Amino acid sequence: MPTPPEAEKQQTGPEEADQPPSMSSHDAAPPAPPRRNPCCLCWCCCCSCSWNEERRRAWRASRESRLQPLPSCEVCATPTPEEVRSWAQSFDKLMHSPAGRSVFREFLRTEYSEENMLFWLACEELKAEANQHVVDEKARLIYEDYVSILSPKEVSLDSRVREGINKKMQEPSAHTFDDAQLQIYTLMHRDSYPRFLSSPAYRALLLQGASQSSSEA
């Protein structure tokens, strides 16, 4: 029986007739291959491509095992009373003492500024590296963890130092972050160090050293 013209018009209106036929799941065109992001090999690690994601995971695993924990020699070191008292003489003496760095880092953690010490330690580790390939990898890791504005552990650096780092990162070296390291060292010296000397933690160490000295006398 022929379909009435009115019913046929309702079934296939002008808008529907102009639309291309829908494709079934079997007829669907295969997805286009992902385009290579031109910044995949850039030093800033700004893109989210799979290559950079794998690289980030590897670097973060390396960071967790190498940069995050305090070295065992600093954790286990027991400072002498004389050494504890010397930390109040100068910030340099504190930072040159493994036990001093350990105690000071714990203090910075209470002030939510532990990243300053982590950055300083990472720069020291970088400066001791001679293998250029390792230098490149560590420099990129340091940039991503402590210099990038996207990092939750970004340290406070002025624009001049940041611009200098960005230029040096084109060809990283063991001294790429020297200016930044000095700036953070100065920041800890002027800002955190005075509060550390008057902190309960340092006072407790002084009292412990005094009681130990009196018991030995």
Q: Specify the higher pLDDT residue, 103 or 22.
A: 103
Quote the CA–CA distance of 145 and 134 in Å, as a whole number: 16
Q: For a pLDDT cut of 70, what percent of the chain falls above it?
A: 62
Q: What is the DSSP letter of 127?
A: H
CATH fold label, 83-207: Regulator of G-protein Signalling 4; domain 2 (1.10.167)
pLDDT of 122 above 80: yes
Position 112, amino acid: Y
10-69 residue pLDDT tens: 454 444 444 444 444 445 455 554 443 444 344 454 444 444 555 555 445 544 444 444
What pLDDT, on the 0 to 100 scale, is given for residue 75?
A: 52
What pLDDT, on the 0 to 100 scale, is given for residue 216?
A: 65
Question: For 160-178, what is the mean pLDDT?
Answer: 97
Question: For 204-216, what is the mean pLDDT?
Answer: 78
Quote the CA–CA distance of 85 and 75 in Å, as a whole number: 19
142-165 residue pLDDT tens: 999 999 999 999 999 999 999 999
Closest by CA to 43, choosing from 58, 54, 55, is 55
Q: How many CA atoms lie within 13 A of 149 on its CB side?
A: 5
Show me where the domains of the chain are located. 83-207
